[in-house]
Every structure is written in C-alpha cells, then in structure tokens.
Structure 1
C-alpha cells in the first residue's frame, strides 16, 4: 500500500447541448438486417412463378412487416437539451426535466442505462446500451451523468 492518497480523475466536461445518444452500431445492424430480409422475401416472391398475385403481395407484406419490427427495435434514443431529457424507447417516449433525474446508472451486466427518478422509480433508457459497442455506451452514460449532475446542482454547490 502506498502512503499517497488515491487521486480520482477529474470528471469529463459535459457535451454541448442538444445532444442525442443512440446505439449507432446496433441501429445499423437492425436496419441493414431488416432491409436485407425485406429484399430477399420480395425477390423470392417475384421469382416463384407458381405464386398467385395475392400470395406475392402477402410475401411482400410479410417482408415489410419484418422490416417495420427491425425499425421499431432501432428506434431508441436519448435526447438531452437545455430543458431536460427525452427518452425514446421501443414503444414509448417520456420527457423528463433535469430535476427529475437523480442518478444515471450503467452497471456491469446492465443491458442499458437506467435513470433513477425523483418519484422513486427507475426508467430504462434503451438509447444507451452496451450490446455491440460497450466503450461507446460507457462514454455516453458518463456524458449523460455529467449533464445530469451539472444541470441538477443547486446554485452555490460549487459544481
């Protein structure tokens, strides 16, 4: 053990607002896969001569439906601006004032960031997820945490 006190690195400066956090690689994979599925199913529908026009339409509709599901899964994002944060998840959107966010958490093993809120609940923010790009998610979580800490600090706290 050393006699010197441990030195904690200085917190990073928060990014300029507005800023959008979204899982870029995951989004790219989902949209690319969805498009590829749509193209392949549509091509199969057009190449199979024994299909009736109604069956071809159902193939194309199925491909479009699968692409829509992939696009829905690629939807999550977190948008921070001067007034607060908008969390867009797969099927919902929630607007939060900075004062509502008590803590930004991304613990080892978490599938995405969780926001601890002033009403005692926790909100999943799927727009920051370490699935494919862990380092990016950690950096984004730290940036959002820095923004939340600077925006919710009371005047005179020295932050």
Structure 2
C-alpha cells in the first residue's frame, strides 16, 4: 500500500505538471495565464496529498498495548481492553475486537498483503496472548 500510494502520488503530480505546461499551447478560445497553470499544480498537490494519506496507516505493539494509526487518527489500546485480533472472511483489513461488540480497524494490515498480513496478525495475537497471561 505504501509503494502504491507513493507511485500514484508521483504519477498524479507528473500528470498535472504536463497539463499545466500544455494549457497555454492549446487553442481552445480560452486564454490561460500563469496563475491558471499554478492552480493546476496546486490541485495536483492536493490530489497527491490525499493519495499519500493512504500511506499513513501503521501499527505498533509491545507488551503493554497496541497503537493503531489509521488514515487520520491514532489510538492506543492497553492489552487488557482488547478481546482479540481478527481478520474476518472477506474483510479488507484486520481489526481489534473490543468490549461491547465494538471493533477498531487496523488498516496497516491489509488482505492484499497476503502472507505478510497473516504473519502480522499472528504476531499481534502472540503479543496479546502473552500480555493477557502476564496481567
């Protein structure tokens, strides 16, 4: 996901740079000025920045708890508050099982990662199991 987000962001910036460069050369009856070209680059930067938000998800875990950073928010959960880590059939990402039938998605562990996702879920389950035994 990280590589895909960066490649797409670079491709979007190149596309908008080419469009901005070619704007004044097309005879469409509209007069494009340098500010219009700069505006195209700013729009491209916003689109690329939005794509790079997909590169933000991260998960960190230790013996005390787990920190999950999804696209915008970061949350930390102590292990005693976590019932388990699951990866439901057909789901695109793993999730933390929490009290009261709630869950929190772990966007850093995606189904498209296949073997890596399996290893990550097993590692998180091992950390959770060890922390529950100790505590």
**Partner of 1:40 in structure 2?**
15
Q: Deviations over 1:59-107 (max 9, x none)?
A: 1011101111111122111111343111111121111112111110012
Q: Look up the SS of the partner of 1:116 in the other structure.
A: strand
**Structure 2: which 5+ residue stretches go unaligned?**
26-31
**Partner of 1:109 in structure 2?**
90
With 68-77 and 115-124 compared, the bigger mean Cα shift is at 115-124
**Structure 1: which 5+ residue stretches go unaligned?**
1-25
| More RCO (CA 8 Å, sep 6+) | 1
2:118 matches 1:143? no
**Partner of 1:52 in structure 2?**
33
Give the TM-score of the pair, scaled to structure 1: 0.74
**Partner of 1:28 in structure 2?**
3
Q: Deviations over 1:45-64 (max 9, x none)?
A: 12333531111111101110
**How many angstroms apart in 2 are the aligned matches of 1:93 and 1:52?**
42
| Equivalent residues of 1:115, 1:125 under 8 A apart | yes
Query: How many residue pairs get matched?
Result: 129
Q: Look up the SS of the partner of 2:109 in the other structure.
A: coil
Give the TM-score of the pair, scaled to structure 2: 0.86
**Partner of 2:55 in structure 1?**
74
2:106 matches 1:125? yes
**How many angstroms apart in 2 are the aligned matches of 1:100 and 1:119?**
11
Q: How much does 1:118 deviate?
A: 3.5
Q: Look up the SS of the partner of 2:51 in the other structure.
A: helix
